[in-house]
Structure 1
Amino acid sequence: MKLKDSVAIITGSSSGIGAAIARLFAEHGCHVVINYSSNEAGARAVAADCEQFGVGALVCQANVAEDADCRALVEAALAKFGRVDILVNNAGTTKFCDHRNLEGLDMQDFLDLYAINTVGPFQMTRAAEKALRANGSGHIINMASIAGLAGIGSSIAYAASKGALITMTRSLARVMGPEVRVNAVCPGFVQGEWLKQGLGEANYQTRLEKTKAAAPLHDAASPETVADVCLGLIIGGDLTTGETLLIDGGAHLGMAPVRR
């Protein structure tokens, strides 16, 4: 699939990984729909960056946990560009809670995380299905996490929601073909403000150093390296669907069960 003149909706693209994906896709000639939930200023800054590459950029507010918002987002994209070729389900949230602290999570925490991390991608896929199928070569990328494979990460609720997203990716790949490919990418530790704010500066730096030291490639993911992988799936993976691709410098190779 070629990106030039295609149209991509990237949820949660006002900052971080989503913003990096939007900029990279735009650099390759793809029109982009920049979605935000609350950070309008960030979304408009990303759109301005994308427009520097000569493509169209549409900024839309939507909460992917709300089905009506998902449908309105797709309709806005179609009204502006007349087509949707790519959907990147990047919007996500978490609650930071030590896995040993079972009292630190309640039912509402799980519901809140699942609403955005799992139900949101389903609702966006359903809203965009007709448009993605229409062009015969659509692609969906779900932003999962190594947490969903290894049961690690910011909290048990987060890991569970991403594990469900990985399973859903495989289910959707079966039913969306042959017109649409569906894949998941699973970043490990991602350098940037999101984790820095969640972990705190000192803890962030300690974990980053340990991650780099443990990974065979001695590096950790960044928003830009995750965007590179997404680009590769779009333009170089015509026979790839239902796959889960890890982006962690090989750190998962040294993982062992945590012992108390």
Structure 2
Amino acid sequence: MSFDLTRKTAVVTGATSGIGLATATRLAAGGARVVVGFHSDAAQAARVAAALPGSGHVALPMAIDDAASLAAAAERIAEQLGAVDVLVNAAGRSTTVPARDLAALTDDIFDEITKVNLRGPFAVIRTLLPLLQASPEAVIVNIGSVAALTGVGSNLAYCAAKAGVHALTVALAKILGPGIRVVTVSPGAVDTGFVRGRAPGALDKIAEGTPLKKVTSAGAVADAVLACVVQLTSSTGIEVRVDEGRHLP
């Protein structure tokens, strides 16, 4: 894949691990200056920013459930970089709650999951919108999940939140064009530590049930994000699934 992101600024939330880290690395390798958005571990974020290919990268606290944190990050980005060309909403979190155990999915868990995984990406977009509008050709990539389609995931609230993310992508694509494209990349079960409480061997069991018989890697998801940024330039409001065929009935 031939591309050049030189002089482009990319903001990646949740960039210190998993899909976010893999994506930040791909974008930096293409020449972009990357804002490594993190929640709490400043030391780890600084190490990630320093280790990325290229130069000009910066680590900024971006707690997606904290409006003040996002506003402060937007101010820093405006002062130091001026505009945002690429925004990747990769931050999120989940925990395992059996789908049949409705009582275990308490209001507090449901609210936390939807606050982080649905309201969070919207809050990031809303806060950074002026900086995205300052770019001649901006793109937003929201990390969704095939759980939104299958109804099978770490918990039911997560499935619902990710369905909301794709609906948000479609709605924003309609109102933010032509200057800003908005897409969703939806992985299946990815080989990261994202889901708390996942049983040992669970990923291998899931992989055996997919047509491609393998576990999705964070790098494969990052490749899809990169393709949305640099190749699918006539696409907006779409969902790209990276799940080894797990969504198939």
2:243 and 2:175 mapped to 1: Cα distance?
A: 29
Match of 1:234 in 2: 229
**1:209 matched to which residue of 2?**
204
Distance (Å, rounded) in 1 between the aligned partners of 2:133 and 2:187:
27
TM-score, scaled to structure 2 = 0.94
Q: SS of 1:252's equivalent?
A: coil
- Following TM superposition, the consecutive aligned residue runs of length 4 or more in structure 1 with deviations greater than 3 angstroms are none
- 1:10-159 to structure 2, matched below 5 A, reads 10-50=12-52, 53-159=53-159
Q: What residue ranges of structure 2 are gaps of 5+ in the alignment?
A: none
Superposed displacement of residue 121, structure 1: 1.0
Structure 2 residue 220 is matched with structure 1 residue 225: yes
Is residue 113–residue 157 contact of structure 2 (8 Å, CA) maintained in 1?
Answer: yes
Secondary structure of the 2:184 match is: strand
Separation of aligned partners in 1, 2:96 and 2:136 = 40
CA contact (8 A) 1:58 1:77 kept: no
The CA deviation at 1:68 is: 2.2
Q: Deviations over 1:196-221 (max 9, x none)?
A: x5313x3xx2x322333232222221
Please tell me whether residue 198 in structure 1 is matched to residue 197 in structure 2. yes
In 1, Cα distance between equivalents of 2:215 and 2:31: 28
- CA-to-aligned-CA distance 1:115-162 (integer Å, 9 cap, x gap): 111111111111111221222210001111111121110001111111
Q: TM-score, normalised by structure 1?
A: 0.90
CA distance in 2, matches of 1:140, 1:162: 16
Unpaired runs of at least 5, structure 1 = 256-260
Q: Distance in 1 between matches of 2:175 and 2:240?
A: 20
Residue 239 of structure 2 corresponds to 244
Distance 2:194 2:126 in 1: 28
Aligned-partner Cα distance in 2 for 1:159–1:39: 27
SS across alignment from 2:97: coil
Question: Distance in 2 between the 1:250 and 1:103 partners?
Answer: 31
d(CA) in 1 for partners of 2:166, 2:127: 19
Instruction: State how far apart, in whole Å, the 2-side matches of 1:35 and 1:146 are.
Output: 24
Amino acid at match of 1:239: S
Q: Which amino acid aligns with 1:8?
A: A
TM-superposed deviation, 1:247: 0.6
Checking the alignment, whether the CA contact within 8 Å between 1:172 and 1:182 is kept in structure 2 is yes
What is the Cα deviation at residue 192 of structure 1?
2.3
Cα distance in 2 for partners of 1:111, 1:216 equals 34
The alpha carbon displacement at 1:2 in A equals 4.4
